[in-house]
Amino acid sequence: MYFVAIVLPKELNEKILLDKNFMLEKFDCKVGLKSPAHITIIPPFWMDAEKETGLIHDVESLSKNLSAFTIKTNDYSAFKPRTIFVDVHNSEELQNIKKVSDDFFRQLSQYKIKIDKRHFHPHITIATRDLLRKSFHEAWPLFENKKFGEQWMATGLSVLRHNKKNWDVIYTSFFISH
């Protein structure tokens, strides 16, 4: 499995890791720890490993037409009752990267990527699929008024590959102006 994302800088990943580890210790939520902090652009899809070089090349081609931009967070939010996340300001630049990426990959049938038809809601997951409904109702009050106001420069798109346990960043393609 693979997906394409904007991966957060190391120092912000470490801040998010504190929340993910809290959710592990308090509510036994492990799924959020399986990937670095990121904003998903192309959701996970199955692909034969021999197509990986082509995927990397195509992400490189896509990135060369995009410019670096600032991403800002809006504290915490939730997809009730199963996901807690850091909310991301849905800027014009972020909307554009999502649209351009969807349009680009829609034309490349070799990857069998299903373009998400749901409204794009950029976010950075803290806890998700293994967060039980009961635990959500205990955890959400601990996050709903907590602050997380950060900003950083998005400088590229990363390809992540699942290694049967976790997600690894296997390649990052930088935007034209980073």
pLDDT on residue 112: 85
The pTM (predicted TM-score) of the whole model is 0.94
- The residue among 97, 113, 118 whose CA lies nearest residue 41 is 97
Percent of the chain with pLDDT over 70: 99
134: tokens are 């009961």
Q: Distance (Å, rounded) from C-alpha 163 to C-alpha 150?
A: 30
- For strand 167-174 and strand 2-7, is the pairing parallel, antiparallel, or unpaired? unpaired
**What is the model's pLDDT at position 116?**
81
Q: What is the CATH number of the domain that holds 139?
A: 3.90.1140.10
| Closest alpha carbon to 38 in 20, 13, 15 | 13
Parent domain of 76: 2-174
pLDDT band for position 178 (cuts 50, 70, 90)? low
- Return the residue matching tokens 């390809």: 159
**CA separation, residue 82 to residues 19, 78, 85, 147 (Å):** 16, 8, 10, 20
Q: What is the pLDDT of residues 1-32, one digit of tens each?
A: 999 999 999 999 999 999 999 999 999 999 99
pLDDT, one tens digit per residue, over 118-166 is 889 999 999 999 999 999 999 999 999 999 999 999 999 999 999 999 9
Residue 161's SS3 state is strand
Number of domains into which the chain is organized:
1
Rounded distance between C-alpha atoms, residue 175 and residue 178, angstroms: 6
pLDDT at position 115 is 85
